[in-house]
Amino acid sequence: MYVAVKGGEKAIDNAHALMREQRRGDTAIAELSVEQIKQQLPLAVDRVMNEGSVYDPELAALALKQASGDSVEAIFLLRAYRTTLPRFGYSEPVDTEQMQIERRISGTFKDLPGGQVLGSTYDYTHRLLDFALLAEGDSALSEPEQASNNMGVLQSDLSANNVGVPQFPSEARTETKTSDKLEACPRVLELLNQEGLIEQSRADGEEDITPRDLTRQPVNYPAERAVRLQNLIRGDEGFLLSLSYASMRGYGDSHPFAGEMRSGLVSVELVPEELGFPIEIGEVMLTECEMVNQFHGSKDQPPQFTRGYGIAMGRAERKAMSVALVERALRAEELGEAVNYPTQDQEFVLSHTDCVSANGFVSHLKLPHYVDFQSELEMIRRLRKAASEASAQPSEDKADTAGEKI
Amino acid sequence: MSSQLSSQLNKPATQTAGAEGYNFAYLDEQSKRMLRRAMLKAVAIPGYQVPFGGREMPLPHGWGTGGMQLTATVIGEADTLKVIDQGADDTTNAVSIRRFFAKTAGVETTEHTADASLIQTRHRIPERQLRNDQILIYQVPIPEPLRFIEPRETETRKMHALREYGAMQVKLYEDVARFGHIATSYDYPVMVNDRYMMDPSPIPKFDNPKMNQMPALQLFGAGFEKRIYAVPPYTKVMSLDFDDYPFEVQSWEESCSICGSDHSFLDEVIMDDAGNKMFVCSDTDYCRERVEQGFTAENPEGQQGLTPEPNQSQQERKTQDDTKAEEMAP
């Protein structure tokens, strides 16, 4: 006799208990602390902060621990917490030109005011497994590099600009505040701007507009640029990476140069209502990327370079670059370019960037669909019955034989 | 109608009940106010999809976050909540959502349709006829009935504005041409109040007639699509069809193996390796109620002196024809 499927409540409790046990792993091995995750898996933490849209390395590390290292799950945890937080106010726009540069590179100019700073990077490492790490010792591969490390400041023959850069001892950690003596680092793209070779980032006399907050208001299409950027910055890194890859491989009209990539600490200012002037409330680590793209010009405008912009929290270059590339591809319509590919299509891109939504909707297939499936069963039986009755008649029964071939 | 909604809306929210560190029913009051405004607009324009600032909920998108936001917004301390998924109270996701509100709002929950003031549902409408003092909240994955015909929001909004629904009629016609009848079995599009085409959420078309002139307020929430829509009580909801191919619902040759019902939506249960199967009511509460009243598979007519509860789908199924007849008359 059929026993109704009961016991959902108990099953859920047990499933969660089992999950907690699995997450902890072998209890003979020391438990991972949130602080360890924050210190030693900082890039994973940064990704969770970015897509979770909260600048809080500790909570991001906690989410990673709770999610057994699954970044999408961790992002979800952080988002669901974020949504309940009250809004005290909005900060002043951060000035990334005043960034305390930790790393700064340009793919367009060999040397430039402020110099290039290689900083810390996986670029140029040989991807060889470092078995010293497996033996839980210090990394063997990194030692020779450390000896000659001057905070990674690129020494180029031309770089008279770097003369004033203090030489940090090799034990200098990344937390060390870069000295105030560093000369100003104007944005590379602004240098092009002086010649009018690149589009203005804003029209003459254009005021700052407070961007709409897409976590509070739904997106309406076509979405303005500030909303598109918000959406992309919260978007799934893998999806954006692949889209930007596609846009460069021919499914898009993208011929980019990495004008500049910079990361470092930026101070955040807020104007409290009772004071009426800005006060600094803290610093955030940001990675900013500006891409230079070609633009063939139009009837009204001579050819000039255009910009794609990306910014991300923490050290997240892949993310910042992907955002900049996709952001530029999505400007096709406003620049009067043909919209031929999904990468240029706002609705296609912006509706599908969010990993929390994507994961939710895909995984909802695990929920019961008994009723819908039953409806389909009933329908398909009826259709097949009708088909077999029709083919049972002495006339041509092509449908039936075709069915058997399959 | 509106007094019913506003009485729900005016219930004072309280900080006392619920989970520590969270507001009553999880959402903060500003978010609830935003949702209420969207809901009022939705009720005022039956079937129209109102964009709203969808919030992240602690459940994944696609698992009922839209419905949960609506429930969190209209629920008050005096409410009794029922949550069903596939018609059943005990499916895991229904359990999970019911617990969420028991925890964050501290409200009474029930499995009895008749005792609930709020019913959140996924994929079904209860068999028992709902009352005017109840609210039915649907979880909606994709609110746009035209989405699979036209994927662009910019286009579909235009189509709704111009009441340009020919494309859907063509799709249904193509079904008729290929299969001899309309081959949509769930998520079957409806016209609300003769104006907006609406996606009834993926309920089986068996349930569509229950929406027409329903005494209860029907609210629809699509979380990650950030849309709310509504059907006020006693509103005309017609399933799309053709004069010569009228709308019809599923029927079963079998009846429920537990309560003997021959008029409710039946789930098929596979019994063994040989593919033997049985059919049981998808609405577990309706089935339980009938068993309590003495109906069994062996005795589907019930005990002496008992008459079956008025069955909504049978009544309402007439209504579509009746409404049509009324329209044809003058």
Looking at residue B18, its pLDDT comes to 59
| Disruptive mutation site among B31, B33, B85, B92 for chain A (greatest number of A CBs within 10 Å) | B92
Of B93, B152, B206, the CB nearest to A347: B152
B256 given a catalytic annotation: yes
A388 CB within 8 Å of a chain B CB? no
Which residues in chain A are closer than 8 Å to B62, comparing Cβ atoms? 357, 360-364
| Residue B102 CB-half CA count within 13 A | 11
Task: Say yes or no: B6 and B116 in one domain.
Answer: yes
Supply A42's token pair: 């900082």
What percent of chain B is modeled with pLDDT above 70? 86
Report the C-alpha gap between A210 and A208 in whole angstroms.
Answer: 6
Task: Say yes or no: B222 and B283 in one domain.
Answer: no
Q: Considering the domain boundaries, does residue A341 fall inside one?
A: yes
Task: Say yes or no: A137 and A204 in one domain.
Answer: yes
CB A71 within 8 A of CB A48: yes
pLDDT range class, residue B14, cuts 50, 70, 90 = very low
> What stretch of H or E contains A282?
strand A279-293
Task: Say yes or no: A140 and A288 in one domain.
Answer: yes
A103: pLDDT strictly greater than 90: yes
Looking at residue A284, its pLDDT comes to 96
Of A218, A364, A378, the CB nearest to B226: A218
Task: Say yes or no: A145 and A29 in one domain.
Answer: no
A363 CB within 8 Å of a chain B CB? yes
Task: Say yes or no: B218 and B317 in one domain.
Answer: no
In 3D, which of B5, B15, B75 has the Cα closest to residue B46? B5
Looking at residue A166, its pLDDT comes to 41
Q: How many residues does chain A have?
A: 406
A19 CB within 8 Å of a chain B CB? no
Q: Considering the domain boundaries, does residue B327 fall inside one?
A: no
| Burial of B301 per CB tally in 10 Å (0-12, 13-18, 19+) | exposed
B245-273 per-position pLDDT tens digit: 999 998 888 999 999 999 999 998 888 88
3-state SS string for chain B: CHHHHHHHHCCCCCCCCCCCCCECCECCHHHHHHHHHHHHHHHHCCCCCEECCCCCCCCCCCCCHHHHHHHHHHCCCCCEEEEEECCECCCHHHHHHHHHHHHHCCCEECCCHHHCCEEEEECCCCCECCCCCCEEEEECCCCCCCCCCCCCHHHHHHHHHCCCCHHHHHHHHHHHHHHCCCCCCECCCEEECCCEEECCCCCEHHHHHHHCCCCCEEEEEECCCCEEEEECCCCCEEECCCCCCCCCCCCCCCCCCCCCCCCCCEEEEECCCCCCEEEEECCHHHHHHHHHCCCCCCCCCCCCCCCCCCEHHHHHHHHHHHHHHHHHCC
Residue of B nearest to A73 (CA): B60
- C-alpha torsion sign, points A375, A379, A382, A384: negative
Report the C-alpha gap between B281 and B127 in whole angstroms.
Answer: 10
Write out residues 281-300 of A within 8 Å (CB-CB) of B. Answer: none
A373 Cβ neighbours under 8 A, 6+ residues apart: none
Indicate which residue of B53, B256, B302, B305 is catalytic. B256
Supply B163's token pair: 């009441």
Q: Considering the domain boundaries, does residue A365 fall inside one?
A: no
Indicate which residue of B47, B54, B87, B221 is catalytic. B47
B287 given a catalytic annotation: yes
B81: pLDDT strictly greater than 60: yes
> What stretch of H or E contains A359?
helix A355-363
CB A186 within 8 A of CB A97: yes
| Domain of residue A238, residue span | 96-124+132-359
Task: Tell me the residue type at A213.
Answer: D
A371 CB within 8 Å of a chain B CB? yes
Q: Considering the domain boundaries, does residue B11 fall inside one?
A: yes
Q: Considering the domain boundaries, does residue A235 fall inside one?
A: yes
Q: Averaged over A94-100, what is the pLDDT? A: 92
| Domain of residue B101, residue span | 2-147+184-239
Q: Considering the domain boundaries, does residue B46 fall inside one?
A: yes
Beta carbons of A379 and B185 less than 8 Å apart: yes
CB B192 within 8 A of CB B240: no
Q: Averaged over A33-52, what is the pLDDT? A: 97
Task: Say yes or no: B198 and B66 in one domain.
Answer: yes
Beta carbons of B153 and A221 less than 8 Å apart: yes
Cα diameter, chain A = 96
- Residue A322 CA to chain centroid, in angstroms? 7
CB A361 within 8 A of CB A76: no
Task: Say yes or no: A217 and A286 in one domain.
Answer: yes
What is the tally of structural domains in chain B?
2
Task: Say yes or no: A184 and A229 in one domain.
Answer: yes
A289-323 per-position pLDDT tens digit: 999 988 777 777 778 888 999 999 999 999 999 99
* Tokens 């600490």 sit on residue: A265
Q: Averaged over B130-159, what is the pLDDT? A: 95
Q: Which residues on neighbouring strands pair with residue B267, listed in sequence order?
A: B280
A18 or A111, higher pLDDT: A18
Task: Say yes or no: B234 and B255 in one domain.
Answer: no
CB B206 within 8 A of CB B250: yes
CB B216 within 8 A of CB B130: yes
A161: pLDDT strictly greater than 70: no
Report the C-alpha gap between B313 and B209 in whole angstroms.
Answer: 6
C-alpha torsion A388→A394→A396→A400, nearest 10: 30
Task: Say yes or no: A49 and A160 in one domain.
Answer: no
Mean of all residue pLDDT scores within chain A: 83
Looking at residue B323, its pLDDT comes to 65
Of A364, A369, A379, the CB nearest to B60: A364
Q: Considering the domain boundaries, does residue A87 fall inside one?
A: no
Q: Considering the domain boundaries, does residue B277 fall inside one?
A: yes
Supply A271's token pair: 């104007």
Which residues in chain A are closer than 8 Å to B95, comparing Cβ atoms? 8-9, 12
Of B28, B53, B59, the CB nearest to A84: B28
CB A282 within 8 A of CB A295: no
Q: How many residues does chain B have?
A: 330
Which residues in chain A are closer than 8 Å to B224, comparing Cβ atoms? 354, 357, 360-361
CB B262 within 8 A of CB B300: yes
B281 given a catalytic annotation: yes
B62 given a catalytic annotation: no
Task: Say yes or no: B143 and B279 in one domain.
Answer: no
Task: Say yes or no: B271 and B230 in one domain.
Answer: no
B170-222 per-position pLDDT tens digit: 999 998 998 888 888 999 999 999 999 999 999 999 999 999 999 999 999 99
| pTM for this entry | 0.80
Task: Say yes or no: A50 and A105 in one domain.
Answer: no
Task: Say yes or no: A221 and A355 in one domain.
Answer: yes
CB A265 within 8 A of CB A110: no
Residue of B nearest to A383 (CA): B179
Of A79, A372, A377, the CB nearest to B268: A377
User: Alpha carbon of A157 to those of A110, A111, A154, A161, A163: distances in Å?
Assistant: 11, 10, 10, 10, 11
Q: Considering the domain boundaries, does residue A296 fall inside one?
A: yes
Q: Considering the domain boundaries, does residue B172 fall inside one?
A: no
Which residues in chain A are closer than 8 Å to B124, comparing Cβ atoms? 371
pLDDT range class, residue A193, cuts 50, 70, 90 = confident
pLDDT range class, residue A182, cuts 50, 70, 90 = low
Measure in Å the smallest separation between the Cα of A361 and chain B Cα atoms.
5
Q: Averaged over B273-281, what is the pLDDT? A: 88
pLDDT range class, residue A200, cuts 50, 70, 90 = confident
Task: Say yes or no: A113 and A181 in one domain.
Answer: yes
Supply A393's token pair: 């008649």
CATH classification of the domain holding B108: 3.40.50.11310
Task: Say yes or no: A60 and A106 in one domain.
Answer: no
Q: Considering the domain boundaries, does residue B120 fall inside one?
A: yes
Which residues in chain A are closer than 8 Å to B85, comparing Cβ atoms? 367-368
Q: Considering the domain boundaries, does residue A201 fall inside one?
A: yes
Report the C-alpha gap between A188 and A109 in whole angstroms.
Answer: 8
Task: Say yes or no: B98 and B225 in one domain.
Answer: yes
Beta carbons of A375 and B204 less than 8 Å apart: yes
Task: Say yes or no: B130 and B269 in one domain.
Answer: no
B47 given a catalytic annotation: yes
Of B26, B63, B96, the CB nearest to A360: B63
Helix, strand, coil tally for chain A in percent (to 5)? 40, 10, 45
Q: Cα angle vertex A141, ends A140, A144, to 5°?
A: 95
| Disruptive mutation site among B24, B37, B56 for chain A (greatest number of A CBs within 10 Å) | B56
A369 Cβ neighbours under 8 A, 6+ residues apart: B86, B123, B202
Task: Say yes or no: B59 and B207 in one domain.
Answer: yes
A364 CB within 8 Å of a chain B CB? yes
Q: Considering the domain boundaries, does residue A3 fall inside one?
A: no
Q: Considering the domain boundaries, does residue A265 fall inside one?
A: yes
Measure in Å the smallest separation between the Cα of A339 and chain B Cα atoms.
14
Task: Say yes or no: B8 and B114 in one domain.
Answer: yes
pLDDT range class, residue A26, cuts 50, 70, 90 = very high
Supply B290's token pair: 């009938």
Task: Say yes or no: B140 and B266 in one domain.
Answer: no
A49: pLDDT strictly greater than 60: yes
Report the C-alpha gap between B42 and B61 in whole angstroms.
Answer: 21
What is the tally of structural domains in chain A?
2
Domain boundary among B210, B239, B268: B239
Task: Say yes or no: A162 and A72 in one domain.
Answer: no
Task: Say yes or no: A68 and A161 in one domain.
Answer: no
Domain boundary among A22, A55, A82: A82
Q: Considering the domain boundaries, does residue B54 fall inside one?
A: yes
Neighbours of B83 (CB within 10 A): 31
Q: Considering the domain boundaries, does residue B171 fall inside one?
A: no
What percent of chain A is modeled with pLDDT above 90? 48
